[in-house]
Amino acid sequence: MSEPVTLDVAAAYDVWAASYDGYDNPMVFAASYALSQASLPLSQKTCLEFGCGTGRNLAALAARGVSNLIGFDLSSAMLAEARKRDASWTLFQADMSAPIPLPDQSADFILFSLTLEHVAELAPPLREARRLLRTGGTIKIIEIHPFVSLQGISAHFKTPDGAEITMPAFAHHFQDWLGAFDQAGLRVDRLREWQAADLGAGAPLKIQRRGPAWPWVVDWTLSPA
């Protein structure tokens, strides 16, 4: 078996983009399930996703009646896949650790899904999310559970010819999350830890075989402090 190849984050997702949506990824299943259970008031009309990837979450939000969708990502190939999904979405390339080229109060609902593990410092993107959030809005963060990332598990995939690709990822402890929320001026409205047993009878084998108490994703619901 060949050694894993480590690429930088943008390069890794550029390679992964074409096969990402079809990949048998239990973390994507868990994050999608968590988002599907979120209550999204209809007044939350403009949704923005940091690290939107192929746009699969934007598509799920569109299916729930959200008409104004904005997403950005570091990887041009992931964005190209998102553009194929719906040309009406506002999509652009940007790094969430730098200032985002959008005006203050651009969105009612801001989503992070499986992307902050690639960011060493949580506070800068969260401060930007706070700036971009409209009065009365909500930020939702669905990310790999700290107990899982602390075991050295992080985003990785195999190319169609069998090469194992890894990329930089950072384990964020609960105190890192809470400290960053504080620095960004955000308040926790709800924390949910999605264990296998919470993910429905249709959860794939990769989820079930870890056992019912394995915590797949952590799901924060936040509002301005």
Ligand X SMILES: C[S@@+](CC[C@H](N)C(=O)[O-])C[C@H]1O[C@@H](n2cnc3c(N)ncnc32)[C@H](O)[C@@H]1O
Per-position DSSP letters for 33-51, written without gaps between them: HHHHTS---TT--EEEEET
Q: Tell me the three state secondary structure of residue 195.
A: strand
Closest CB 35 distance from ligand X, rounded Å: 8
Closest CB 135 distance from ligand X, rounded Å: 25
Closest CB 57 distance from ligand X, rounded Å: 5
Query: Could you give the strand order of the β-sheet that contains 5-6, starting from the edge strand earlier in sequence?
Result: 5-6, 164-166, 156-158
Closest CB 87 distance from ligand X, rounded Å: 19
Q: What does the binding site for ligand X look like in residue numbers (CB under 6 A)?
A: 9, 13, 28, 31, 51-53, 56-57, 73-75, 78, 95-97, 113-115, 118-119, 155
Of 75 and 195, which CB lies nearer to ligand X in the complex structure?
A: 75
The DSSP symbol for 117 reads G
Of 21 and 193, which CB lies nearer to ligand X in the complex structure?
A: 21
Closest CB 179 distance from ligand X, rounded Å: 19
Whether the Cβ atoms of residue 48 and residue 66 lie closer than 8 Å to each other: no
Please name the residues in contact with 46: beta carbons below 8 A apart, sequence gap of 6 or more.
66, 68, 69, 70, 106, 107, 108, 109, 134
Of 23 and 187, which CB lies nearer to ligand X in the complex structure?
A: 23
Of 52 and 203, which CB lies nearer to ligand X in the complex structure?
A: 52
Please name the residues in contact with 177: beta carbons below 8 A apart, sequence gap of 6 or more.
122, 146, 218, 220
Of 96 and 196, which CB lies nearer to ligand X in the complex structure?
A: 96
